[in-house]
A and B are shown apart, each in its own frame.
Chain A
Amino acid sequence: MKNTFEKIQFSLTKINKTHLQILWVLIVLAMLVLGAGAPEDVGGVGI
């Protein structure tokens, strides 16, 4: 149990500012392309 906790703690310490920046950029870019584009998925809209 203690080992597991230490492993989780070690993994979390490896998450740094750069990782969070990458995650943020991927999220906002996903929003940008979804908002900017308008392809019509003819298989997924019930037609």
Chain B
Amino acid sequence: MILLVAVILGWLTGWGLARWQGRSWLPPDIKFSVFLVIGFLPQWLAFYFEPTRRWMPDQIASFCLVLSQAILLGCVFLNIRLPGMPFLLLGLGGNLLVIVANGGFMPLVAESALRLLSADVLHSIGFGARISHASKDILLMESAIRFPWLADRFIAPPIFDQRFIYSIGDVSIALGAFLLLATGRKIQSLSNPEM
């Protein structure tokens, strides 16, 4: 959900700046945007839609995750000239790399999780196991992770209501989405500051 906050904040910032400068705010012109919907669909089935995620085996869920992120990566690459897209490409590329290198799920560094959860809870999940059917993460000790600096390892500061653990790629994705919307499309005429 924290990534959606970046989208909303980016939009509000772009819209507010446009109003302040007396111009229209228009959304960025994303090419092949329908592929973003197609690319998200496998993940929606594997992690978000309760009836399908519950029965889906881990291998298929993992395949859905990698396939989905590969499609999204291609679409981001095709839009690389838009502001913020290089950050999205870096973040998505980093996440996909660490996911593929660690068996198809995002590794969650156990040492970081231990700072928020008790050891009993972590043992009940089991090392190498998925956190839940709604999660893209598997719990691993840092020493067992390939590219550990790209894994979910950073703990959200306590100012957030929800405590979550994120990767450097997630930060880059949030920054990219924010910049993309805060910049918007090229400046329009000053005649209609309605939007």
Measured CA separation A44–B132 after assembly (Å): 10
Flag A14-34 by CB within 8 Å of B: 1 or 0 each.
000011011011101111111
How far is the CB of A11 from the nearest CB of chain B, in Å?
14
Whether A18 and B26, one on each chain, are in contact in the complex, defined by CB atoms closer than 8 angstroms, is: yes
A47 and B132 in contact, given A18-B26, A32-B72 (Cβ under 8 angstroms): yes
Interface size for chain A: under 10, 10 to 19, 20 to 34, or 35 or more residues?
20 to 34
Flag B38-60 by CB within 8 Å of A: 1 or 0 each.
01100100001000000000000
Flag A33-46 by CB within 8 Å of B: 1 or 0 each.
11111111111111
A28 and B33 in contact, given A36-B69, A37-B174 (Cβ under 8 angstroms): yes
Chain A interface helix/strand/loop/mixed: helix
Chain B interface helix/strand/loop/mixed: helix
A41 and B33 in contact, given A33-B6, A36-B72 (Cβ under 8 angstroms): no
A38 and B106 in contact, given A24-B33, A32-B88, A47-B121 (Cβ under 8 angstroms): yes
Q: Which 5 A/B pairs are nearest by Cβ-Cβ distance?
A: A25-B27, A31-B40, A39-B166, A33-B3, A38-B106
Other A-B contacts than A28-B36, A30-B7, 6 sampled, CB-CB below 8 A, are A22-B195, A32-B76, A38-B169, A39-B167, A40-B166, A42-B163
| Interface residues of A, Cβ cutoff 8 Å to B | 18-19, 21-22, 24-26, 28-47
> What are 24 A-B interface contacts by the 8 Å CB criterion?
A22-B26, A25-B30, A26-B11, A29-B30, A30-B4, A31-B36, A31-B37, A32-B177, A33-B6, A33-B177, A34-B48, A35-B72, A36-B3, A36-B69, A37-B173, A38-B95, A38-B167, A39-B3, A39-B152, A42-B163, A42-B165, A45-B131, A45-B134, A47-B117
